[in-house]
Structure 1
């Protein structure tokens, strides 16, 4: 049959990004455990795609430190390395501080409402003990100042180092999500009032409350 000329094909970049996000989230939420081997054929079948976008996603995950590839052997989910988490946390914190410093006093009502909406979602997820939904809402909350800033370099840095931090964050939300909820509310108030130093100090503190011990996480046998 002839191919309709007026219909565009699937955007391959969107497909690659979607596959990357699905695999990234599966590692962050524990669907794939540290030490677990990831086979591109099995992953392609699971996601209903070809092996090419899966292989590309695994390369990106390797750059983020979520997987370890051994050429000619296997690709496995990495263990949570405390130093790597702290290094990534420091970079992520610095990027978010830059974003809120620019947003403080300049935020529109619509932008602040987006943060309030995300924080309401965060509160509801915590009430239901839905950590995955809480993490999604938290990411949406912190994404607002970054989006407002519109700095592609900062967004790229966060895309690279953010997943390592998010993976370690699950334990914090499970143990003390209420503290994060309160810090979100404080940040909205500081941004609204134009308190640049207060907003940047709170943002720095927020990210540096995340810490991990130096006991290596056991790999899956």
Structure 2
């Protein structure tokens, strides 16, 4: 039987994904800073791969909102702005309200304990001094919910969109636009709903945390 002709394409895809993960991690941990220009030759030297998987990875990261590209002008790390922040925050609330509603009834005792500990940690660090740390970790925190929702289509949507949306929260005005005194009580309500295994209350609390209009 001849070797399937699709095998090389699969290998290139895996290489592209590896490159994408490395660039994504460098953006999310701050190694590559907002607005920083990305030069193909520098990326080739850093990653040790050819130009093709790098361009493919950058295109995927652009679709996710982490990279900005203008043909023949620039490729650079996205620079979050105050005007984009609230839209991104509320979009996360729309998505993760549904995620939480699905995840809460599925939690094992160990998962519930882990989520409660995470919520306690977030609440303890919501003061102005540590809020930036919480925002920087946002993508990973949201991922804990997505991993437990049990819906592959929704989890895939989360993986495709959360990095870009969470990255847009990294603006100095975050504490001003999302006041601690507004968010903290809703975090307590979310924790209580998780402990009570109440998916509807958890969904409403997650939406309120993200400043979505309350239901009448």
Is the TM-score greater than 0.5?
A: yes
**CA offsets, 1:6-36, max 9 Å, x none?**
xxxxx76555334323323433454434443
Aligned to 1:143: 143
Aligned to 1:77: 77
Aligned to 1:36: 36
Q: Describe the shift of the 1:133–1:26 C-alpha distance in structure 2 as closer, same or farther (beyond 3 A).
A: farther
Q: Describe the shift of the 1:14–1:193 C-alpha distance in structure 2 as closer, same or farther (beyond 3 A).
A: farther
Whole-angstrom distance in 2 between the partners of 1:152 and 1:173: 34
Q: Describe the shift of the 1:146–1:23 C-alpha distance in structure 2 as closer, same or farther (beyond 3 A).
A: same
Q: Is 1:200 matched with 2:203?
A: yes
Alpha-carbon contact 1:126-1:134 (below 8 Å) kept: no
What SS class does the counterpart of residue 170 from structure 1 fall into? Answer: coil
Q: Describe the shift of the 1:157–1:190 C-alpha distance in structure 2 as closer, same or farther (beyond 3 A).
A: same
Shift of 1:151: 2.2
Q: Is 1:189 matched with 2:192?
A: yes
Whole-angstrom distance in 2 between the partners of 1:125 and 1:57: 34
Whole-angstrom distance in 2 between the partners of 1:71 and 1:23: 20
Shift of 1:102: 1.9
Structure 1: where are the runs of 5+ without partners? 1-10, 210-221
Alpha-carbon contact 1:40-1:51 (below 8 Å) kept: yes
Q: Is 1:45 matched with 2:45?
A: yes
Segment of structure 1 superposing worse, 69-78 or 171-180: 171-180
- Alignment map for 1:203-214 (pairs within 5 Å): 203-208=206-211
What SS class does the counterpart of residue 208 from structure 1 fall into? Answer: coil
Aligned to 1:110: 110
What SS class does the counterpart of residue 153 from structure 1 fall into? Answer: helix
Q: Describe the shift of the 1:25–1:126 C-alpha distance in structure 2 as closer, same or farther (beyond 3 A).
A: farther
Q: Describe the shift of the 1:195–1:124 C-alpha distance in structure 2 as closer, same or farther (beyond 3 A).
A: closer
**CA offsets, 1:168-216, max 9 Å, x none?**
333479858977677555423212213333211111122338xxxxxxx
What SS class does the counterpart of residue 36 from structure 1 fall into? Answer: coil
Shift of 1:98: 0.9
Normalising by structure 1, what TM-score?
Answer: 0.67
Whole-angstrom distance in 2 between the partners of 1:47 and 1:125: 35
Q: Describe the shift of the 1:116–1:85 C-alpha distance in structure 2 as closer, same or farther (beyond 3 A).
A: same
Whole-angstrom distance in 1 between the partners of 2:93 and 2:132: 21
How large is the Cα RMSD of the aligned pairs? 3.9
Whole-angstrom distance in 1 between the partners of 2:173 and 2:150: 28
